[in-house]
Amino acid sequence: MIQSFYQKYLLPGLVFQGVVIGGGYATGRELVEFFLPHGPIGGLMAMGVAALIWSCVMAASFELCRMTQSYDYKSFFRQLLGRAWFLYEILLMLLMIVVLSVIGAAAGEITRNLFLTSPLVGTIGLLIAIGLLTFYGSHIIERFMGAWSILLYLCYFTLV
């Protein structure tokens, strides 16, 4: 029962939050650029509007999945994009290469600065971690993303 509740209700939100915050807001740069110029109250209100918009996007996506019974990735994007769904796949693969390159380079630089090693150590370490998470399947990734989201919230509550 608890596992089912976690998988049905908490995990999708935690993964979505991890992707959106991790990909867009984790550095704080976007918060400074888009929200802080409006002052503390205006910034908080703008963050609330952004959270509401992201919530609506997620709810609309889930509703599309439910209405079309598209419960897997491929059928969802076929419903969403029609015959051009494969173009999204091509662009996504190119984006993944760019993202992995940037993250790999960052991991290498962080490792070099912290441990005075070759940047290749950090880059290869990150690629091994990604490979292990991918190899051992979605169960490990679900747990990892859930734990990462909880850690992210703990850091926010501790530091803010």
- Asked whether the beta carbons of 70 and 79 are under 8 A apart, the reply is yes
In angstroms, rounded to a whole number, what is the distance separating the alpha carbons of residues 18 and 136? 20
Question: Has residue 112 got a pLDDT over 70?
Answer: yes
Question: Has residue 1 got a pLDDT over 80?
Answer: no
Range 108-134 average pLDDT: 90
What is the token pair recorded at 37? Answer: 């110029």
Q: What is the pLDDT of residue 56?
A: 92
- Give the pLDDT confidence of 82-105 residue by residue, as tens digits: 998 999 889 989 988 988 888 889
Q: Is the pTM of this model over 0.85?
A: no
In angstroms, rounded to a whole number, what is the distance separating the alpha carbons of residues 34 and 50? 10
- Give the pLDDT confidence of 48-63 residue by residue, as tens digits: 898 899 889 989 998 9
Mean residue pLDDT of the chain comes to: 83
Task: Give me the amino acid identity at 29.
Answer: R
- Asked whether the beta carbons of 122 and 111 are under 8 A apart, the reply is yes
Q: What is the pLDDT of residue 30?
A: 74
